[in-house]
Amino acid sequence: MSDLFDTATAAERRAAVILADRLRATDPITRADLNAAMIEGFGGTDADGFWTQRDSFEILEHALAHHLQFGPYPLHSLDDVGAACDLLDRLPTQTVRSEDQIEWQQMA
């Protein structure tokens, strides 16, 4: 029997690799793309309880950090900032909020 933590880690890695591959392309990453990577990585949907939308954005951030570390964005000069801004424009916004986040929001 496998350790549940090992299984979750492997699923997160699979989803992150899928998203890192998408980051190498020039197409925008949509919420549908993000969800598809999570479903493939985890073997099930958020509705089935395999992952949450919040998890999906954390995995995207992990994939983005990996992409920036090993990708074509050295960020050594001001000219490199344009490429990073283009990448930023291709990412989905994190607009999904939990009921707890909405309830505890202090600013409207």
d(CA 59, CA 40): 13
Q: Is the pTM of this model over 0.85?
A: no
Are 46 and 52 in contact by the 8 Å Cβ rule? The answer is: yes
* pLDDT over 90 percentage in the chain: 46
Q: Taking the alpha carbons of 26, 27, 30, 33 in that order, is the dihedral positive or negative?
A: negative
d(CA 56, CA 51): 7
Angle at Cα 74 formed by Cα 30 and Cα 81, nearest 5°?
Answer: 65
pLDDT at site 107 = 60
Average pLDDT of the chain is 83
pLDDT at 5 over 60: no
